[in-house]
Amino acid sequence: MNRYLGQTNLGLIGPLGQKKISAAKVAIIGCGALGTVAADLLTRAGVGRLSIIDRDVVELSNLQRQTLFIESDAAAKVPKAEAAAVRLRQTNSEVNIEALVVEFTGMNALELLRGHDLVIDATDNYPARFTINEACLALALPWVYGGVLGTMGTMGVFAPGGPCFRCLFTELPALGAAESCRLTGVLGSVTTIVAAAQVAEAIKIITGNEHRHNLLEFDLASGDFRTIDIARDPLCPACQLHQGEFLGRLPAPEAVVVCGEQSVLVPGGTGPVDLQSLGQRLSARGLKIEVSRYTLRIAAVDQCEVIIFGDGRALIYGTESIIRAKNIYTSLLG
């Protein structure tokens, strides 16, 4: 029995298109609401290799819309990329699934994306998208943008030879100007629609079919759908002036309150961390430690739970005070 019969019967794909899908190498940046749906659909479609890049761990509040995770993942705070990879390998053993528990930055963007055929944006912030845009321009890769807020969704394709993301969004939104899901909320069905549309465009590109050249916007509350034309900007700082504002640069080392959780993400200021050695030192101080391949988990520090990643980042749970979170981080890592 051909497991891909449902899509090979489509004139859009056919047996030849399926061979192209099976040979394709796709990177998904972000494994949240968009990334889990996109990863699931691409795995079921039978892509050859799927790289899942995400810095975060599973939270209980993620389960409302992030489809690959279960309650035990949230209880154990498993890294999202790792938890997703486990489910996806059970779904389709023919697909090479790579879990990358790392923060996507201007310093590692080219290394992470090189060797892929296509990139799917499942991030939730503009600096990451601007970095994806520059990296894909440098590597001549097509990428599919997706954004969700409240009951609204947006999706578009940016491919070599056409307008780029910064032809549409020239500058980063001013600090505090862009709404966030932490304040506005997200309807789960919106994320599913956007991710499904992203994968549809990805499959068109992989199989050599004509892809979308405009931006799709919709609002499920009002039922409105519309398209927006995208034109190349002759003064675009990315694809025309090649200013390179994001590649080769680290994000601003600022702690931030995490969307949807009473927690703070503290960036790694000390560089890579040997989690085993750190665990031994902290255990000697009487702290309850759990060390895994990707994280070190501390049950209670100043009434907060702490997860430290190998790159030096830390998630501090039980507070939304950045000052308190930084103090806890310093007490553990110096």
- Catalytic residues, by residue number, are 181
At 287 the three-state DSSP class reads coil
* Distance, CA of 155 to CA of 261 (rounded, Å): 26
* Distance, CA of 170 to CA of 153 (rounded, Å): 20
Q: Is 76 exposed, middle or buried (0-12, 13-18, 19+ CB in 10 A)?
A: middle
Overall size of the chain counted in residues: 334
At 304 the three-state DSSP class reads strand
Which amino acid belongs to residue 257?
Answer: V
C-alpha dist (Å) from residue 228 to 34, 202, 215, 234, 327: 21, 19, 5, 19, 46
Which amino acid belongs to residue 8?
Answer: T
Concatenated DSSP letters of 125-153: SHHHHHHHHHHHHHHT--EEEEEEEBTEE
Which amino acid belongs to residue 33?
Answer: A
